[in-house]
Amino acid sequence: MLQETSRNKEDLNKEDYSKEKQPELMHFNFLINLVQRKVILASFSRLNAMYIMSNLIKLKSSQLLACILVFTLPGLLSCKKEEQNPNIPNVYINITIDPNSTMFQPLNTSGGWMYLTSNPPSRGIIVYRSTQDEFLAYDRIPPNDPNHCCESSTNCTRLVVGDNFPFVKDDCLDITYSILDGGIFQGEGKWPMIRYNTTYNGQYLRIFN
């Protein structure tokens, strides 16, 4: 009887132990299953990549070239250089003035403009003070077909402001430009006015290319 009682106690202890360990075993099994699933998914991804590569290899050269162009053509198009006006004069421009002096009185206030001389083949410069601290400078050479109305190599039409302000006129081709940005306001043409760089430090204005 004593042996049977001790055996019963041992069985009960084993059952209690297994019940205590059951949650741990369930958790362990869950982790094993999770790891297996991730391994399967990773393997599936690798198989997909291998499948795509194997199909690319099977493509004909013309088909493969078409695929490459589909992915690379947009990038090539975005890298296309901006077309440049071929009529821009090949001249060195580097002029410094004091726009607040009496010598350049039209530029003393915002909204003023005046002509400056420059070396050929430039035909002069139009300077416009758009604000107290900002200036715009354009070449007087017509940006569209500049030699259309030339009487000689030294006597060619120039852009004119005058009574046209705030516009600039090419009387030869009958094209009107805006002095505010150099764009075509009226008439037929491809190119805007030829603009030069400007910097102003509060006293001196530099115009350069």
**The pLDDT of residue 71:** 46
The answer to whether residue 86 is domain-embedded is: no
The residues of the chain scoring below 70 in pLDDT are: 1-81
Both 71 and 135 in a single domain?
A: no
Is residue 138 in some structural domain? Answer: yes
Mark whether 192 and 118 lie in a shared domain.
yes
Asked whether residue 100 falls in the same domain as residue 66, the answer is no
Q: Are residues 139 and 45 in the same domain?
A: no
- pLDDT for 82 equals 79
Among residues 110, 129, 91, the alpha carbon closest in space to that of 208 is found at 91
pLDDT of residue 79: 52
pLDDT for res 145: 94
Residues of the chain by 3-state class (helix, strand, coil), percent to 5:
40, 20, 40
Single pTM value for the model: 0.63
Instruction: For residue 17, give its domain range.
Output: 2-78
CA–CA distance, 53 with 64 (Å, rounded to integer) = 12
Q: How many domains does the chain have?
A: 2
Residue 107 contacts residue 129 (beta carbons within 8 Å): yes
DSSP state of 83: P
Residue 201 lies in a domain: yes
Q: Is residue 70 part of a domain?
A: yes
115 and 193 in a single domain? The answer is: yes
Given a contact cutoff of 8 angstroms between Cβ atoms, the answer to whether 93 and 208 are in contact is yes
